[in-house]
A and B are shown apart, each in its own frame.
Chain A
Amino acid sequence: MSEVLDRGVTEVELKVVGTRPIRPDGTEKVTGAAMFGADFSMPGMLVGKIKRSPHAHARIVSIDTRRARAVPGVKAVVTAADFPDLASEEYEGGESASNLRDLSLNCMARAKALYDGHAVAAVAAVSAAAAAEAIDLIEIEYEVLPHVIDVEEAMAHDAPVLHAHLFTEGLETRPLSPSNIAQKNELARGDLPAGFAAADVVMEHRYTTAAVHQGYIEPHACVASFAPDGQCQVWSSSQGQFMVRTYCAKVLDLEASNIRVTPAEIGGGFGGKTTVYLEPVALALSRQAGAPVKMVMSREDVFRATGPTSGAVIEIKLGATREGEITAADVVLKYQAGAFPGSPVGAGSMTALACYDIANFRITGYDVVTNSPKVAAYRAPGAPIAAFAVESAVDEMALELGMDPIVLRERNAVKDGVKAAYGPTYRNIGYLETLEAIRDHPHYAAPLGPNQGRGVAVGFWFNVGGESTAAVHINEDGTAVVVTGNPDIGGSRASMAMMAAEVLGLPIEKVRPIVADTASIGFSMLTGGSRTTFATGMAVTQAAQKIVAELRRRAAQIWNVDPEKAEWRNGAAVCLDPAKPEIEPLSLAALAGRSARTGGPITAEVSLTAQGAGPGFGAHICDVEVDPETGHVTILRYTAAQDVGRAIHPAYVEGQIQGGVAQGIGWALNEEYVFDRLGRMENAGFLDYRVPVASDLPMIEPIIVEVANPRHPFGAKGVGEVPIVPPLAAVANAVRRAIGVRMTDLPLSPPKIRAVIDAR
């Protein structure tokens, strides 16, 4: 169990929030009964398969599907010709804005294949064998073009250009020729040259990271049905059923009300399932075939054709005084976007210096298209990359100044009232508290042996609010149902029930949460941005509060007293009228039992756009041991402190911290996309794309810090994304201290470490 450090949480005594009930969907998950995307079937269902480009960059000269259509059992064949040719349009509905035309082209290539694995055609047939045969018989003539994947090579003047209509935005004068640099952005404050002039120590480094995948164990899967009357149904493993509905509607030019999307249980997303790949294609196939179509990606296709996050180059120049005041920082971020614009370099820029109160800085970000799969969100998108560089540079500065790395950070820490590097003024943040937590933890004082090193790193992520709808229904027996529209990717369903139970005064067993389809609940923005417990929780809480207000009103009516004289306590209405001391409390069940006579069904729905999400900070300590002969890094010990505002369900908060740390460790040590000279991914499987296995990791100790967010009914801040931000540098800093050399290129695989030790 983690340590929970209470820093001024609200005084109300909570009965459910903060406890650790068994999750409501637990039994079905441990018995194999839970239905994930690939577990659905419909009568008459066909198997859908996608034909993918074998070239990293090529013009599609012609596609001939005649032989494919002739295969017995093939019921539909689609290409881009079966999709509307969309105009460019920005849509805000995913975790960040996306361009619908790009999304459509990514689902089905038109005119050009932009990466190895890009979908160029699709087939639906009665069996997997028939579909596979048809795929092989689709004849495509390609004109292979030179490709580019490395981000700096893609930025070069003579790089092969992916999009003839892409001109760099954010420059002072609009360029005349197209480029692979989709956007340049800049954040700046103060006087950079003066800041560096005031520094006693100035250091400049260059850091590089490779593209890494979210690595969810469940491949993308959906079943789609396009009926002859135009009514569409989709069951899909995704992070947002409304997002799926919107994208399918836009990509196929359908009306939203004609598409009903039911979220399946989702086997991991981490941002990678905040977009669509299969659903519009499955619908198009179903429309042509007149039957439902099931599509499930292979693991290879998941790697080749779904978005990893960016590989990047980061250049950072840092200046500080001998006393440890950081006076200036100049950061340049160059992020791969994959085949279409939209890397998370914007968020990387905004978060890079978010933990530091620096008067003079400039952060420049480049969004660069490359012949690799279109990047998708990955847990705090953009932030871990920037933090790797900043936290490594700060660590190097600490070594140069002879200063403890926590002290250096405390000296430059943001606190309440400080204007964040990305704009807003911080309020109710718990950053210093997380530094204090790791400083005072026994881990920090534990002795180290030979070839061992300890690294410290911090991280930040803003948490978004956004639109959420929740409904609470009281059943005739006094039990309750909580309905939301957010897929549960980390235990949020339990937290929704807990918040409702707390407000209603019911035990958790009497509150059943469900995640509804798009026709059964009002709009909700997808599950991402660490927003569900915050924003949907807020909607749930408000809906429950409305119910309580209604219950009080009905009780007062029954008792014939003023409504203010009916109070809600411990799940019952209590009469406070001194003139009527004989009145017994009325339980929720009692009130529900007479609902028909007191005003009808007891139900409430709240839609809101949640404001006031509280950003999260984390501080981590990592101990490693390096085998100097083999270059192997062992993670010996890991402690992660994080300000979560209020831990609604502490076990799930701990789980988010541990899971994010594990992903960060994999990113630091072994994960990377490897491309061959033809631009094809060489390691598109779990054998050679190396995520951490159970024996690679020690226990991961979370320290929950609670500095309440006053704008959430229970003080919660988002939790899920901060944990992945510090580990890259925490591991790299530990290795630095173990071997005495700064590693600037991720992943820190054994050959690289061995080479650096040899050169030492």
Chain B
Amino acid sequence: MPQLDYVSPLTAEEAVAALAAGGGLAKVLAGGTDLLVQLRFGRLAPGQIVDVKRVPGAIGIREEDGEFVIGAATPGTLIGEHEALGRAWPGVVEAATLIGSTQIQGRASMAGNLCNASPAADSVPALVAAGATCVIVGPAGRRTAAAETIAVAPGVTSLTPDEFILEIRLPRRPRRSADAYLRSIPRTEMDIAVVGVGVSLSLDEAGVVSHARVAMGAVGPTVIVADAAAGALIGTQVDEAALAALDAAARAACSPISDKRGTVEFRTRIAGVLARRAAIIAFARAGKR
């Protein structure tokens, strides 16, 4: 592929300049687990590859005033190994570490997963349920955007060609909060999610759900934030009635397609099932804190 060029900038500004110079054909390289497949299969026109892994802050996890700041190109294995992150955000970690195989985990990043904008991306429902935000660097400097605003359509993001995500931030967590992510796949590993559901909730002193967010993947062109589903949990202790309401609301919020991975009916059904199961897990986790 002789048309392609590769650069590995050492600062965020250099990276932005390289992207800008690419004239729309430049692509960000983090873990490469989506990009290289697209290159190989001719789905991308040749252009500039801008490797952001050496930009300061691109790889690494740190805590800042209770927020977790995750470098955009941090591979899944680092996310999975970070004990504090795993304690605070087990659902996000589950989601990130479910992407692909161990080998994929050695490279794949959450920002890459987000910016690939596949409806079935595993990390996205958990990030969105968590209320994650992205710090985006561009020619005009830095800006912040909610994770659910990144993908606007399958394969299309809200980023301009000269922007890239530098870090993902998870907000400070109230006490008695927890999240969970579940997905349905035909095998036990290796598959793209047929449905993925992330639930994040917080409990008040009495153990009643005071805050909840439910996000679903692979049941619409982009992640679906199911407000009614979340509403079904608030004010409850996730009893059977709440779960039934959650199930129904989750199903109602879906707008999946039928494709080689699943039918409309199946995806809708499973969205309800996974919403229930994830809510039960998140509730149990939150109760233990």
B187 and A696 contact, CB distance less than 8 A = yes
Partner of A688, one of B1, B261, B269: B261
Please report whether the interface of chain B is mostly helix, strand, loop or mixed according to DSSP. Answer: loop
**Does residue B266 face the partner (Cβ distance < 8 Å to A)?**
yes
Q: Which of A263-291 contact B (CB under 8 A)?
A: none
B266 and A629 contact, CB distance less than 8 A = no
Interface stretch of the complex, out of B189-197, B198-206, B223-231: B189-197
Partner of A687, one of B192, B263, B266: B192
A690 and B189 contact, CB distance less than 8 A = no
**Does residue B2 face the partner (Cβ distance < 8 Å to A)?**
yes
Q: Which of A620-640 contact B (CB under 8 A)?
A: 629-632, 634
**Does residue B249 face the partner (Cβ distance < 8 Å to A)?**
no
Shortest distance between the CB of B217 and any CB in chain A (Å): 16
Q: Which of A736-755 contact B (CB under 8 A)?
A: 749-751, 754-755
Q: Which of A629, A670, A696, A751 has the most CB of B within 10 A?
A: A751
A630 and B1 contact, CB distance less than 8 A = no
Contact A690:B188 (CB < 8 A) given known A129-B2, A754-B266, A754-B269 = no
B186 and A750 contact, CB distance less than 8 A = yes
**Does residue B63 face the partner (Cβ distance < 8 Å to A)?**
no
The distance in angstroms between the C-alpha atoms of A683 and B261, with both chains bound, is 10
Partner of B190, one of A629, A683, A693, A749: A693
Shortest distance between the CB of B120 and any CB in chain A (Å): 11
User: Total contacts A to B, CB within 8 angstroms?
Assistant: 54
A696 and B266 contact, CB distance less than 8 A = no
Contact partners of A696 in chain B: CB under 8 A: 187-189
**Does residue A252 face the partner (Cβ distance < 8 Å to B)?**
no
**Does residue A682 face the partner (Cβ distance < 8 Å to B)?**
yes
**Does residue B170 face the partner (Cβ distance < 8 Å to A)?**
no
B1 and A129 contact, CB distance less than 8 A = yes
Q: Which of B165-219 contact A (CB under 8 A)?
A: 184, 186-192, 194
Shortest distance between the CB of B1 and any CB in chain A (Å): 6
Contact partners of B186 in chain A: CB under 8 A: 632, 669-670, 690, 749-750
The distance in angstroms between the C-alpha atoms of A464 and B188, with both chains bound, is 38
**Does residue A88 face the partner (Cβ distance < 8 Å to B)?**
no
**Does residue B43 face the partner (Cβ distance < 8 Å to A)?**
no
Partner of A631, one of B41, B191, B266: B266
**Does residue A160 face the partner (Cβ distance < 8 Å to B)?**
no
Shortest distance between the CB of A303 and any CB in chain B (Å): 13
The distance in angstroms between the C-alpha atoms of A426 and B229, with both chains bound, is 65
**Does residue A695 face the partner (Cβ distance < 8 Å to B)?**
yes
Contact partners of B188 in chain A: CB under 8 A: 634, 693, 695-696
Contact partners of A750 in chain B: CB under 8 A: 184, 186, 194, 266
B260 and A688 contact, CB distance less than 8 A = yes
A682 and B260 contact, CB distance less than 8 A = yes
Q: Which of A671-688 contact B (CB under 8 A)?
A: 674, 682-683, 687-688
Partner of B187, one of A674, A692, A755: A692
| Closest residue on chain B to residue A133 by CB atoms | B2
The distance in angstroms between the C-alpha atoms of A750 and B188, with both chains bound, is 12
Contact A630:B273 (CB < 8 A) given known A129-B1, A750-B266, A751-B262 = yes
The distance in angstroms between the C-alpha atoms of A31 and B183, with both chains bound, is 38
**Does residue B270 face the partner (Cβ distance < 8 Å to A)?**
yes
| Closest residue on chain A to residue B276 by CB atoms | A629
| Closest residue on chain A to residue B101 by CB atoms | A693
The distance in angstroms between the C-alpha atoms of A693 and B261, with both chains bound, is 17
Contact partners of A630 in chain B: CB under 8 A: 184, 270, 273
| Closest residue on chain B to residue A686 by CB atoms | B190
Contact partners of A692 in chain B: CB under 8 A: 187
Interface string of B234-274 (1 = CB under 8 A from A): 00000000000000000000000000111101100110010
Interface string of A288-300 (1 = CB under 8 A from B): 0000000000001
Contact partners of A690 in chain B: CB under 8 A: 186-187, 190-191
B263 and A751 contact, CB distance less than 8 A = yes
Contact partners of A634 in chain B: CB under 8 A: 188
The distance in angstroms between the C-alpha atoms of A78 and B192, with both chains bound, is 39
Shortest distance between the CB of A213 and any CB in chain B (Å): 15
Contact partners of A669 in chain B: CB under 8 A: 186
Contact partners of B190 in chain A: CB under 8 A: 687, 690, 693
The distance in angstroms between the C-alpha atoms of A688 and B261, with both chains bound, is 8
B191 and A751 contact, CB distance less than 8 A = no
Contact partners of A683 in chain B: CB under 8 A: 260
The distance in angstroms between the C-alpha atoms of A239 and B249, with both chains bound, is 56
The distance in angstroms between the C-alpha atoms of A669 and B40, with both chains bound, is 30
B266 and A670 contact, CB distance less than 8 A = no
The distance in angstroms between the C-alpha atoms of A749 and B266, with both chains bound, is 11
Contact partners of A632 in chain B: CB under 8 A: 184, 186
The distance in angstroms between the C-alpha atoms of A688 and B185, with both chains bound, is 11
Shortest distance between the CB of A302 and any CB in chain B (Å): 14
The distance in angstroms between the C-alpha atoms of A750 and B260, with both chains bound, is 12
| Closest residue on chain B to residue A752 by CB atoms | B266
A693 and B260 contact, CB distance less than 8 A = no
Contact partners of B2 in chain A: CB under 8 A: 129
Q: Which of B186, B188, B260, B265 has the most CB of A within 10 A?
A: B186
Q: Which of A634, A670, A749, A750 has the most CB of B within 10 A?
A: A750
A755 and B261 contact, CB distance less than 8 A = no
Contact partners of A749 in chain B: CB under 8 A: 186
Contact A695:B260 (CB < 8 A) given known A629-B273, A630-B184, A750-B184 = no
Interface string of B276-289 (1 = CB under 8 A from A): 00000000000000
Contact partners of B261 in chain A: CB under 8 A: 688
The distance in angstroms between the C-alpha atoms of A629 and B230, with both chains bound, is 21
Contact partners of A755 in chain B: CB under 8 A: 265-266
| Closest residue on chain B to residue A754 by CB atoms | B266
B187 and A693 contact, CB distance less than 8 A = yes
Shortest distance between the CB of B227 and any CB in chain A (Å): 24
The distance in angstroms between the C-alpha atoms of A118 and B1, with both chains bound, is 25
The distance in angstroms between the C-alpha atoms of A754 and B268, with both chains bound, is 12
Contact partners of A758 in chain B: CB under 8 A: 269
| Closest residue on chain A to residue B42 by CB atoms | A132
| Closest residue on chain B to residue A127 by CB atoms | B2
Shortest distance between the CB of B66 and any CB in chain A (Å): 36
The distance in angstroms between the C-alpha atoms of A750 and B183, with both chains bound, is 13
| Closest residue on chain A to residue B264 by CB atoms | A751
Q: Which of A113-141 contact B (CB under 8 A)?
A: 129
A695 and B266 contact, CB distance less than 8 A = no
Contact partners of A754 in chain B: CB under 8 A: 266, 269-270
| Closest residue on chain B to residue A629 by CB atoms | B273
| Closest residue on chain B to residue A747 by CB atoms | B186
Partner of A670, one of B187, B262, B269: B187
Contact partners of B265 in chain A: CB under 8 A: 751, 755
Contact A751:B187 (CB < 8 A) given known A129-B2, A683-B260, A688-B260 = no
| Closest residue on chain B to residue A128 by CB atoms | B1
The distance in angstroms between the C-alpha atoms of A751 and B185, with both chains bound, is 11
| Closest residue on chain A to residue B1 by CB atoms | A129
Contact partners of A670 in chain B: CB under 8 A: 186-187
Interface string of A678-717 (1 = CB under 8 A from B): 0000110001101011011000000000000000000000
Contact partners of B260 in chain A: CB under 8 A: 674, 682-683, 688
The distance in angstroms between the C-alpha atoms of A213 and B191, with both chains bound, is 18
Partner of A751, one of B1, B41, B189, B266: B266
B residues at A contact (CB < 8 Å): 1-2, 41, 184, 186-192, 194, 260-263, 265-266, 269-270, 273
25 A-B residue pairs with Cβ-Cβ distance under 8 Å, sorted by A, are: A629-B270, A629-B273, A630-B270, A631-B266, A634-B188, A669-B186, A682-B260, A683-B260, A687-B190, A687-B192, A688-B260, A690-B187, A693-B187, A693-B189, A693-B190, A695-B188, A695-B189, A696-B187, A696-B188, A749-B186, A750-B184, A750-B194, A754-B269, A755-B265, A755-B266
Q: 3 closest pairs, A vs B, by CB?
A: A751-B266, A695-B188, A629-B273
Task: Taking A696-B189, A750-B184, A754-B270 as given, write out 17 further A-B residue pairs in contact, using a Cβ cutoff of 8 Å, ordered by the A residue number.
Answer: A129-B1, A129-B2, A687-B190, A687-B191, A687-B192, A688-B192, A690-B186, A690-B191, A693-B188, A696-B187, A696-B188, A749-B186, A750-B266, A751-B262, A751-B266, A754-B266, A758-B269
